[in-house]
Amino acid sequence: MRNSSLALLAASAALAIAASTAQAADLPSRYAPAPAYNAMPVFTWSGFYAGVNAGYGWSTGTSRYYDPAFGVPGRGKGGFVGGAQAGYNYQFGMFVIGAETDLQYAAVGNKGSSYGSTYYAGDSDGYFGTIRGRAGVAFDRALVFGTAGFAYGDIGGNKALDTELGFHRGNSNNWGWTVGGGVEYALTNQFTAKVEGLYVNLDTSDNYTQADRVNIRRDTEFGVVRAGLNYKFN
């Protein structure tokens, strides 16, 4: 009889513990839920972009040609440079590679010439464009890069009057090369600002409206310093 009572008591206790455990499981938790974690997106330079730029350019080349009486070197001047650019970057680790093209108005020609005491001003207005590769190192939102590639354009050239041969003009579309570098910084995930410098060298040629002259040297070389703003599409 005693053993039966003990067994009954043990079974009752087990049922009570099981019931209380089930009831506790149905009660709301006393612990606050874990806070939601929204990771800030990591900035990447990868993607397409387009923007505008403005700056200053100055001619570094000279122009020499032979005239029996007054052949004199011309001098280049400097002026405003501005335009638009577009390109694509791809980032892997800290390194960024890409390509960029731009088209610029440039008032860096004006290679005038003197014949005796008369000065004939050159043409100042012109344009140039580039198609370049870019490579650099990213430090989070800052990018230090170098760039090089093809250049083309029509930068204002010499214009001078020869009484026998007519006007001398050096304006034409020409091809060449460019090299440079700069720094770019991401102001937001979409907008970046940059400062860069370029050296541009275009092959050019001289011609007269009549007959021929001996062309000794004709360089169209100029430097550009400009600031730009880009919009990154993704």
Look at residue 55 in the predicted model and tell me its pLDDT: 96
Cβ-Cβ contacts under 8 Å for 203 (sequence gap 6 or more): 174, 175, 176, 220
- The H-assigned helical ranges of 48-182 are none
Task: Determine the average pLDDT of the residues in 5-14.
Answer: 53
Asked if residue 179 lies in contact with residue 223, where contact means CB atoms within 8 angstroms, the answer is no
Look at residue 28 in the predicted model and tell me its pLDDT: 56
How would residue 98 be classed by pLDDT, with cut points 50, 70 and 90? very high
Return the structure tokens found at 132: 């370049």
Return the structure tokens found at 155: 């930068």
Task: Determine the average pLDDT of the residues in 161-172.
Answer: 52
pTM (two decimals): 0.69
Which residue is it, tokens 């890409």? Answer: 98
Return the structure tokens found at 101: 């093209």
Give, for 46, the enclosing helix (H) or strand (E): none
Residue among 90, 172, 169 nearest 133 (CA): 90
Task: Report how far Cα 121 is from the mean position of its chain's Cα atoms.
Answer: 34
How would residue 34 be classed by pLDDT, with cut points 50, 70 and 90? low
Asked if residue 80 lies in contact with residue 110, where contact means CB atoms within 8 angstroms, the answer is no
85 vs 76, which has greater pLDDT?
Answer: 85
Q: Does position 147 have pLDDT exceeding 90, yes or no?
A: yes
Look at residue 222 in the predicted model and tell me its pLDDT: 87
Cβ-Cβ contacts under 8 Å for 110 (sequence gap 6 or more): 59, 76, 77, 79, 121, 122, 123, 124, 156
Look at residue 35 in the predicted model and tell me its pLDDT: 61
Q: Which segment, 127-141, 151-165, 199-213, is predicted with the most confidence on average?
A: 127-141
Task: Determine the average pLDDT of the residues in 105-109.
Answer: 82
